[in-house]
Structure 1
C-alpha cells in the first residue's frame, strides 16, 4: 500500500469555496408525457447511455420496496423491460429550480472533454467512448453562469448547459449512483464547504494521482472549477475538478483537516474482541441426559473422561493449558480436540464440552471460546454434523513397529499410506508447482497488499477477502455488498460453493496470525488421513481412512507447469489439469442479466458500441484505503497464457484421484502466492465422505455417443454416469 502523502504545517495552495445555496426542489406531477430516457445496461462493469423509450404502464413491485416500477419499450429496438423509477429520466428540459446540488440527472456529454491519449503517430485515442448525442448518468455538483458542473458516474467532469440535462425521477441523489462514484458523491455532498486549488493559472504545475502514483501534470486551460491538464510522461489529457482529492495539494489538506477520516485510515487495523465482562457459558445448553448419549473417546489417559460441571469463571488460557503439553501435529485435524481434553457429545445434535466444562453447540461459539482462551486449536478441528463419525484416538499407535509406506516421503502433514505394493508407477513426489518447462518465472502481480486483521473473522475488514469479492463482482464492493457476501469464500474455514474467479487467501505480508486466521485453508496442507488403494477397474485410487466433513479442504493438484500449446517430450493428457484462464479484473457472473448481444463483459472499447467499458476514472486516489480495503489500479492486465498442470513425471498423490460423473470433490482455484497466473488448484469435499469411500473428481470430459473417435468408457458406476466420454 502506498504511504499517505505528508501533511505540511502550512499550505496556502488551496482555498475554501463558498457552497452554492440549495434550491428548493419542485416536480410537475401532472406531466402526462410518456416519453422518457431509461437505463439499458444492467452489467455492473458497464456504464451505458440511457436510451429513449415509451412508458407503457406502472406495475406492482414484487420486492415490496417503496420504489415504483414501470414497463418501458425502447424506441431503438422495441425491447420491453421493467425499470425502477430511479432508472427513468424525463425527456423534458427541467427548470433550474428542479436542479439543486446533488440532484440525480442524465446529461449529454461532449466527446471533446473525454480523457484521451496521443500515440506515437499523433493519433488521438479516447480512453472512454461516448458521442455528443448520448445521455449518461451523473449528479449536479455546482452552478456557474448558466452552466451546471456535472460529475458523471464514470469519473468524467464537465460544464453543461441546462438544455442538455434531464432529471432522473424520484430525486434519489447518490443512492443509486454507480459504485465507481457513489462513495465520492456521498462524501462531496456532505461537505459544508469545498476546498479547491487556489488561483489556478494556465501553465501551473500540479501533482495528480494517476494509476496509483502521483504524476506531474500541467494546467492547459481553466473553466471555473475545472482544469484541463496534461500528463507529459503518459501523453494523457484530462479534465479534472480543482477540488479533486487526486490533486496532491488538495489531498494533503483534506488529510490535515481530517476531512477524510470517515473513509480512510492509514493506521494498522486490529480485530479486537472485548475481554471485559466475558460470558460464563458460551451458548449454554441444557445438560444432556446420560442415557442414549454417545461420547466419543477423548484420547490420552491423562485426560479425564468425566464431564466436568461448568463453574462460574472467566475463561482464559488456563482453561486449555493441557494442550500446551500435546504435539497436535501427531493427530488428524478432527482428533485434536480429543487429545486436549475436549468431549464431543452426539445425541439429537452435537455438543462440544470444553476442558473447563463449558458447553458449545455451534461453530461461532467455539470460535469465540478459542479466541478468548488463546487456544492452539482452530475451528477446522470441530464438526457439528452428527453423521460425521470421528475415530477415537488409538493410544497404542506409538507401539506399532511396522508402519505402512508413506508415498509422500514425509512431505505432507500426515502420511499418505499405500494399501498393497505399488511397483508399476514411477514419479517424483512434489507438493508444489515446478517451472522447469516454461521460461516465465512467478512474479508478484496479484495486487495483494496484506490485511491488518487478527484472525480475519470479520470479512468486511479483511482486505484479502475483499479482493476475492472484487474479483468475483468485477468491481470494488460497497460496504452493503460486503455485508451480503457472507456465503462467498470460506465460512469458518469451510467452502460451501465454488468461487468462480478464485479465492485470495491471506499471505506472508498479512498481519493476521497464521495459526488462527480463518482465511488460510489451502496453504495449511493435508489435514485428513488418506490412503492409496488398487480399484477393481480404474487402477490406483485414493480413499479416505476417516470421515471427511462436507466443505473442507482435502488436497491440491501439483506437478509441472506447461504451456498448453507447447507440450514438451512425449506427454499424456491423463495427468493434466488446465489452470483457469481468466484475467483478475474481469467480471464473471454466469447468472448476470444483460441486454447486450451476448458478448462477454471485458475491459475493451467496442467501436460504435453504446457501452462505456472500464477502466473508469476514480474520484478518489486509487491508493486510498476505503473501508479497510485497497483500490487497486488497473495496471497490466495479465491475460491467460494458457497453462496446464502436468503430473506425469512430478506430482503428488492427487494424480491418482479418479473421475466420477457424481464426484464427491470439486476443484477451487486459490491464490496462496502472488502470481495470478498460477493459482493453486484445491480439491474440496462436496459432501460428507465416509471412511473407506473413494475420493473422486469430475474431469468434465465431453459426453459423446458410443463409437465416436477418441471415446472412453466411463467406469464410475454411479447412477449419474454419462457412459461414454471424450
Structure 2
C-alpha cells in the first residue's frame, strides 16, 4: 500500500508547499487545537513584526547569486552550498560565529537563488503521529540528506515579560512549547528571541526532544531582523525515522545560538520541584533523564 494513501488529513490545510500528514488512525478529539501558520507571527511584546520587510537586498540581476559579487553574501558570508545545504560556518568575527542571512524579497536575484532556502518553506513530506511515551512526534516520509533544511519552529514571537507570564501560568500537566534563543553579537550585545507555537504554530511544535537528536536549530534571517528558527539535519535521515532536536540547544549548535532552553544556574531546588520537571523518554544512551527547562524567565 502506498504510504501516503494510508495517512490521514493534511494538518496544514494547504498552507505549506506539501501536505503535513496525520496518521489516519488518530482520533480527531485527541488532536490539539491550534491555528496553523507556516511562519512566525507577531505576539504580545514583540517590537518588530516578523513579516515586515526591513533588511536591504542585493542588486544581483541573475538567476542565482555569485558569492564573489552578491552584497548579501559579501556582508554576511555564504549560508548554503549550491545544493541548498547549510554551509560549514567557520568564519567568525571577534570570536563569534557570523549571523546567517538569506537573500530576500528586495534582492534582484530569482526565487530559485541558492541563497534562498528557509523562505521557500516546507518542501519535505512529514507525518505527525502519536508516540508511545512522548506525546506527538514527527517522522520523515522520505530520505533527507545531511545539513538539509527540514522546517521552521514557527509560532508567536513574544517579549520577555509575556514569555514569563505564560510560563508561570502553565500547570504541571501543560506542555511547554516556548523556545528561548539567545544570540551573542560581541561587545556584550545579546539578542533574545522567544517563540511560542502553543496556539499559533506549524509542524515544528510536534517535534520531540532527544539527547541524541538528528536535527539542530539555527536562527536564520530573511526579510526581518527577527530570526526564523530553522531546523537542519545533523546526518542523513532514513524514511519513517522520527525527527528530533535537543531542546537545550546543546547539540551541534556552534553557529550563533548558545542555548535554546536551559536550566538557570541560580535556581534553587524548591523552584525546580515546584515546576515538576518532566522525565525524558528519548531512549538515547546519553539521556540526561529530564527534559530541559528554561527557568531564567521566572526570576
Shorter chain as normaliser: what TM range?
0.7 to 0.9
Aligned equivalents of 1:403, 1:714: Cα separation in 2: 28
Aligned equivalents of 2:89, 2:282: Cα separation in 1: 23
Aligned equivalents of 1:428, 1:684: Cα separation in 2: 24
Matched residues, number: 253
User: Cα offset for 1:580?
Assistant: 3.8
Q: Identify which of 272, 277, 285 aligns with 1:711.
A: 277
Aligned equivalents of 1:457, 1:686: Cα separation in 2: 26
Is the alpha carbon distance of 1:497 and 1:663 closer, same or farther for their aligned partners in structure 2, counting shifts above 3 Å?
Answer: farther
User: Whose radius of gyration is greater, 1 or 2?
Assistant: 1
Is the alpha carbon distance of 1:514 and 1:440 closer, same or farther for their aligned partners in structure 2, counting shifts above 3 Å?
Answer: same
Aligned equivalents of 1:501, 1:565: Cα separation in 2: 28
Q: SS of 2:75's equivalent?
A: helix
Is the alpha carbon distance of 1:450 and 1:496 closer, same or farther for their aligned partners in structure 2, counting shifts above 3 Å?
Answer: closer
- The residue that corresponds to 1:681 in the other structure is 229
- The residue that corresponds to 2:100 in the other structure is 503
Aligned equivalents of 1:494, 1:438: Cα separation in 2: 33
Aligned equivalents of 2:101, 2:67: Cα separation in 1: 12
Q: SS of 2:15's equivalent?
A: coil
Structure 2: segments with no counterpart, 5+ residues: 91-96, 249-260, 293-299
CA contact (8 A) 1:498 1:668 kept: no
Q: Identify which of 628, 649, 664 aligns with 2:214.
A: 664
Aligned equivalents of 2:182, 2:109: Cα separation in 1: 28
Superposition map of 1:597-612 within 5 A: 601-602=187-188
- In the alignment, structure 1 residue 518 sits paired with structure 2 residue 84: no
Q: SS of 2:161's equivalent?
A: coil
- The residue that corresponds to 2:74 in the other structure is 466
- The residue that corresponds to 1:428 in the other structure is 35
**Aligned-residue CA RMSD in angstroms?**
2.9
After TM superposition, the score normalised by the length of structure 2 is: 0.75
Higher RCO (C-alpha 8 Å, min separation 6): 2
After TM superposition, the score normalised by the length of structure 1 is: 0.32
Is the alpha carbon distance of 1:412 and 1:643 closer, same or farther for their aligned partners in structure 2, counting shifts above 3 Å?
Answer: same
User: Cα offset for 1:453?
Assistant: 4.7
User: Cα offset for 1:643?
Assistant: 3.4
Structure 1: segments with no counterpart, 5+ residues: 1-393, 470-487, 588-600, 604-638
Is the alpha carbon distance of 1:462 and 1:427 closer, same or farther for their aligned partners in structure 2, counting shifts above 3 Å?
Answer: same
Aligned equivalents of 2:289, 2:181: Cα separation in 1: 26
1:453-481 deviations in whole A, cap 9, x for unaligned?
51445212111112223xxxxxxxxxxxx
Aligned equivalents of 1:491, 1:643: Cα separation in 2: 27
Aligned equivalents of 1:659, 1:498: Cα separation in 2: 24
1:238-266 deviations in whole A, cap 9, x for unaligned?
xxxxxxxxxxxxxxxxxxxxxxxxxxxxx
Aligned equivalents of 1:496, 1:507: Cα separation in 2: 18
Q: SS of 1:546's equivalent?
A: coil
User: Cα offset for 1:561?
Assistant: 1.5
Aligned equivalents of 2:290, 2:48: Cα separation in 1: 39
- In the alignment, structure 1 residue 438 sits paired with structure 2 residue 45: yes
Aligned equivalents of 2:245, 2:124: Cα separation in 1: 17
Aligned equivalents of 2:129, 2:182: Cα separation in 1: 30
Q: Identify which of 655, 663, 667 aligns with 2:205.
A: 655
Is the alpha carbon distance of 1:468 and 1:573 closer, same or farther for their aligned partners in structure 2, counting shifts above 3 Å?
Answer: farther
Q: SS of 1:460's equivalent?
A: coil
Q: SS of 1:566's equivalent?
A: helix
Q: Identify which of 150, 168, 178 aligns with 1:576.
A: 178
Is the alpha carbon distance of 1:542 and 1:506 closer, same or farther for their aligned partners in structure 2, counting shifts above 3 Å?
Answer: same
Superposition map of 1:281-292 within 5 A: none
